[in-house]
Structure 1
Amino acid sequence: MNEYIIPVIAAVVALIIGFVIAKIMAKNSASGTVAAAKNEAASIVKEATSQGETLKKDKMLQAKERFLELKSEHEKVILSRDKKMNDAEKRIRDKESQISSEIAKNKKLNSEIENKAKNYDERLSVLDKKTSEVEKAHRNQIQQLEVISSLSAEEAKEQLMHSLKDEAKTQAMAFVQTSVEEAKMTAQQEAKKIIINTIQRIGTEEAVENCVSVFNLENDDVKGRIIGREGRNIRAIEAATGVEIIVDDTPEAIILSCFDSVRREVARLSLHKLVTDGRIHPARIEEVVKKTSRQIEEEIIDVGKRTVIDLGIHGLHPELIKAVGRMKYRSSYGQNLLQHSREVSKLCGVMASELGLNPKLAKRAGLLHDIGKVPESETELPHAILGMQWAEKYGEKAEVCNAIGAHHDEIEMTSLLSPIVQVCDAISGARPGARRQVLDSYIQRLKDLEEVAFGFNGVNKAYAIQAGRELRVMVESEKVSDEKAAQLSFEISQKIQTDMTYPGQVKVTVIRETRAVNIAR
């Protein structure tokens, strides 16, 4: 036990001695570090003081230099202001001297003017005296002349005026008579010359509208497919289009007969699509006819646009363009209405140029003069008045509207375009082969025949076929029963018999069809 205590005590004593020695050494080291830091701080302070003095001296030098610069600039500004003030004083002195010299001149001029005014007054007094003397002498002369001629001055003046008036009237009448005679001699020749030149510059074909169209086939086997089983296909086509289809022995052709060229065109295009497609049955026929009717409406607009572009007419209202396109499928006394209007437009342009008028406005009036012949619904107004109302409605100029309304003398002509349009319309319609009046009356009779059927309730469609010898009437099955259909046929035939004049007899066929349609969803 004692053996272990002694070494432990020795070790503790050694540790204490080492700790004391370490503390003494650390204290000595810290005092040395503090002394070094103090020395370094003193040197830094000394160096900062010296740098501050140097910086202070530099700033003072810069401030002095800036002061000198500002002083010199201020002196320059003061010198420039002094110079400007001196210049201004000099200009003022010059002005004063100039004004004083002008005042002196004005005084001199005033004195001269006063002298001239005095001389002028003296001359005026002398002139007044001489004028009074001349007037007195003139009155004396007039009195002497009145005594000699035994007439007063007023009476002599009136006699002279009467003689001059009579002489002037005689000369004016002679001049007017000569001018009128010359105009009568040359006006007719000039008018004929202008018309002949206009006709010679317009070359058109003799085209007459017919009431039939020929539809060519690849072979005669197609005829059987068009007729269908028990004729159901051909009946469906006739019912949908209102066109009579004539299938005869003519090889590779069938005939489409209808007075309405729009219906004929719809039927022709529909047949072309059906034959090309190969599917020909009643449901397909109705579908194709509806699509073709819409296609014809679009084609009417395209025809109108192409026509106005070809004639160089701009700014036409879309409804008027549509009316121009409908002219393609209308005829006037057998003459195609669009071709007639184009011809009249060109004639008007040429004639207006010859007379020194506006050719574009004349062509516009010529193209639109017959738009009243293509109404979408029947009206009692004359076509010229109806066309004028349309033109006014769609913003055409007053000259164009008057030319449209006056080309058949329904209204008074108020512009030079009106007689030009009237003359050109007569030229286009009067040339040989252009028109056939019998055809126009025939077409009007067929239209009246269809209108009779539309006057009854429940009628959906009505078509005059067989050159007016048959009237086919399609009725709505919901409004017309089978018994009523027979009665309707009798009533229509009686109305035709009492209201219309026609050759031969007219067969009235009323067709009533019942359909039941349901949709599986």
Structure 2
Amino acid sequence: MPEILWLIIGLAVGVIAGVIVIRAINNSRQQNAQREADALIQEARKQADTLKKEAEVEAKDQALKLRQSIEAEKSERLKEARAAEERLNSRENSLDHRSDSLDAREHQLSSMQGQLDRRNRDLQDSERKLDQRRQSLDARFEEVNQRLEEVAGMTSDQAKTELLDNLRDEVTHESAAIIRDAEARTKAEADKTAREILSIAIQRVAADHTAEMTVSTIHIPSDDLKGRIIGREGRNIRSFEQLTGTNLIIDDTPECVTISCFDPVRREIGRVTMENLIADGRIHPARIEEMYKKAQRLVNQKVQEAGEQATFDTGMHDLHPELVRTLGRLRYRTSYGQNVLNHSLEVAYLAGVIASELGLDPTTAKRAGLLHDIGKAVDHEVDGSHAVIGADLARRFGEKPEIVHAIEAHHNDVEPNSVLDVIVQASDAVSAARPGARKETLDAYVKRLEKLEEIANAHKGVERTYAIQAGREVRVMVQPEVVDEAATKVLAHDIAQQIENEMQYPGQVKVVVIRESRAVDIAK
């Protein structure tokens, strides 16, 4: 009995202890779970803060990129707006220019209309006078017919035949006089209109002129360098001349050498090659060949750029590339000291202005003017005149027949048969005849002065003649006992007309006739 009691008590104590232990374990587990939960919550909060900060940074980056994109787009739109504004301003200026040109054309047309009205009135007056004359002649015819029948005893048919013959002669004479007067008035008006058009073209196309030489003179630092340029036994100068195709002239002229060549592009390549060799200081055949290739590339690039610039300046954007390159070669070509590329540009501008004044297509005229001397770029390589060579080039590369014919006819190699041909001829003459545009050789200059004096001396009563101011003025001394005051004006006119008919010269030649009488006595 006591054992059972102790067993019960032990069981009760064990149960109580188990309950206590289980509670303790549960409490410990709850505390651990609470700590783990707190740690997880803390970790989640840290991650949330990190994600929040990253989101804020990313949002700021996106906002910055968006702002930069907006600023760039804003700047681009501002540029587009400015460009559009510039285009509008340019178009407005162009419209203003066209408006002024149209106003001038309208004024000119109104003036021409007034001239036509005056001519119509003159023609109507002439017709009225002719009607009156015809009526008077009819009356005279009737009167003469009656008198012939009464006095001469002639038949009506015979009298009519004689009267018609007399009348035909008289009317033919008067008609010829009227036609001569009309032709004279028409020629005077045409000359006046032509002078106005040419003066407008010359005023609108004013260009500077600089005479150019056909040889290139290169400065060297010292005369000691001439020996290095020649090289041992002349190997350097031979190599240079063989590569460049030029003649290198080394003489006693201090500190300079001269390059001469009939091909202007070769001469420019030689000049650039020599300048590079002098600057480098190393002169031997291998270095000469290296510098030559470098200069060749540079000059060819300049030729291409010159052709493209010329086409851009004149608005000719559809020229064949080979024509553009050939046109660029004219940059190094001269004619009587005048640069041929500048001359071609000036002729293009003049032809465009003249064509506009005449109501024709200025683009076609500018194209023909730009290409009229293109044959001079290759005239040393092909036989024939530069006009024919240029026409063949233009025909080969697809230019229109009227352009080809204008090129070929600008020096009368073929007969001009269109207004465009005449426009190109006139523009070429104006550009070449500007004072200072071209430079004469000494022989041609002396011959021109001698011809001026010879023409004046051939007239009766001329005592002495002096050509002054480079042939732009001729002063004629006459014998006062042979030529009186009235005859001096006639003599000046005759000499001027003869010079105009027999000579070619730039600008104008002023003829001054001087008649002087002196009375001399000596007091003894």
Q: Into which bin does the TM-score normalised by the smaller protein fall?
A: 0.3 to 0.5
Structure number with greater CO (CA < 8 Å, separation at least 6) is 1
State the TM-score, normalized to the length of structure 1: 0.47
TM-score, length-normalised on structure 2?
A: 0.47
Compare CA radii of gyration and give the structure with the larger one: 1
